[in-house]
Amino acid sequence: MTTMNLNLKKINTAILLLLAVNIASAQKIKTSSIELYGSIGAVFSGSFNSSISSEMANSHQTFKQYQDSTSNKETWRLNFSPQIGIIYQINRDFDLQCGLSYIVLGHQRQLNNLKYKDYTYPGVGSTSGQIVENTNVERNIKLNYRYQYLQVPLLFNYHVNARTVGQKVKVSLSGGVGFNILLKHDINAVLNDGFKIDDKSSFSIDSTGFKANTFSANLMLGTRLDYDYKKQIKLICQPMFGYFPLSVSSNQLEARPWYFNLSFGVIYSLDDLKK
């Protein structure tokens, strides 16, 4: 009987030890349910433009020449984007990230080899919008488009190594959408050296002739790296690719911006990361 009691005590002791180990392990990987974050990103942006409009084609500069000049010579732009938001931990594998950011996107179209009576762009010069001088001077115009958005990104993050205990760096795959409100849109027209219209070599234009949409949405895909810096603080790096599948313009002169945002920031947990 005594031997049986000893065996039962050993079994009970073993069970208690296993429970203690499991509880300790669970506590080590437990994370905050709600976190705050802030970041700043370097945004490289451009645009895929089909340029299907015939509004700027004319008898001297054919539509195909205009389409070629605007579609094939896009250049990217660099801007910076601040962002703040919250992260809600759904479980160990997933979290929901929602933020508010200011983002500036831009791209460039070019009007090349303009001839006498070719159209330029609405707002370039006070004349009829045509080249009125018949000279041999090379005449090119760079149209720099800029869109300033208030963006609400909504992202789902899958934690690739969330179940690995003791990792200082956590890797997540990110995907979602961004909802955008247009704050301002402008175009800066720059003429090449030696070419002037109304004695000016550059023009600042509002959205006249382009009709940028007030509301738009874009797809987002990327990753996030979290580094456990202190008990309630994590450092993050979040590279993200964004693409507007629908044109941001409401007229026929289409533009579908893309961007790559490399952001760095800090996550602050509202309760202990490790309890």
Please write down the long-range contacts of 28-31, taking CB distance under 8 Å and 24 or more positions apart. Answer: 28/165, 28/166, 28/274, 29/92, 29/162, 29/163, 29/165, 30/274, 30/275, 31/89, 31/92, 31/269, 31/273
Q: What's the pLDDT score for residue 135?
A: 75
Domain boundaries, the chain: 1-30, 33-269
- Whether the pLDDT of residue 158 is over 70: the answer is yes
Angle at Cα 176 formed by Cα 100 and Cα 236, nearest 5°?
Answer: 60
Structure-block tokens of residue 215: 């509301």
- Residues of the chain with pLDDT > 70, as a percent, come to 70
- Whether the pLDDT of residue 66 is over 60: the answer is no
Mean pLDDT computed over every residue of the chain: 78
Q: What's the pLDDT score for residue 164?
A: 67
CATH of the domain spanning 33-269, picked from 2.40.160.20, 1.20.120.420, 2.60.40.10, 3.40.50.720: 2.40.160.20
**Contact, 171 vs 135, CB < 8 A?**
no
3 state DSSP class of 5: helix
pTM: 0.74
**Which of 47-56, 206-215, 237-246 shows the highest mean pLDDT?**
237-246
**Which pLDDT band holds residue 189 (cuts at 50, 70, 90)?**
confident
Q: What's the pLDDT score for residue 187?
A: 84
Q: What's the pLDDT score for residue 43?
A: 93
Q: What's the pLDDT score for residue 54?
A: 41
**How many other CB atoms are there within 10 angstroms of residue 216's CB atom?**
22
Query: Average pLDDT, stretch 4-24?
Result: 51
- Least trusted range by pLDDT, from 14-23, 40-49, 90-99: 14-23
